[in-house]
Amino acid sequence: MATLSFSAAVAQWADKVEGAVEAVFKESVQEVVEEMQTPVGQGGRMRVDTGFLRASLLASSTSMPAINASSKPVEGGAYTPNFAQVEAVIAGADIGDTLYFGYTAAYAGHREYGANGQPADGFVRIAAQNWPIIVDRKAAELKSRLGL
């Protein structure tokens, strides 16, 4: 008798539990975004000075938010992210939707990929690469919460 992979086993029970697939999807997306946004000082990959880059994150279900070449922090400014817009896009998403998360800060690409002698942070790419791991973890968490 062949054993099922964890992903296949999750898929079997998720199909049987109403709303499970959607819950795993939305919770997984939320965790990927949280991982993207986690500062180095808290174990993440994003260097944070003023918070401007973190605060520039936008979400869309129609197209990638664009970097704005004139979007730069004010000298001496401090910025706090407001995730209401991102959370609203996630909450309104349906299974099968493509969701886009992008930073509008002028230097977002430089931080992600490195530039001018600065190393690449890779906060978006690494979080995205962790998608399968995050989905498996969220499915296991939901399964445990449901007592399955």
3-state secondary structure 70-117: CCCCCCCCCCCCCCHHHHHHHHCCCCCCCCEEEECCCCHHHHHHCECC
Q: Look at residue 13 in the predicted model and tell me its pLDDT.
A: 53
Are 123 and 45 in contact, with CB atoms under 8 Å apart?
yes
pTM equals 0.83
Query: Hey, is 5 helix, strand or coil?
Result: coil
State pLDDT tens for residues 69-97. 999 999 999 999 999 999 999 999 998 89
Contact 27, 142 (CB under 8 A): yes
Single-letter amino acid, residue 140? A
Q: Could you report the per-residue pLDDT of 33-71, keeping only the tens digit for each?
A: 999 999 999 999 999 999 999 999 999 999 999 999 999
Q: What is the mean pLDDT of residues 10-32?
A: 79
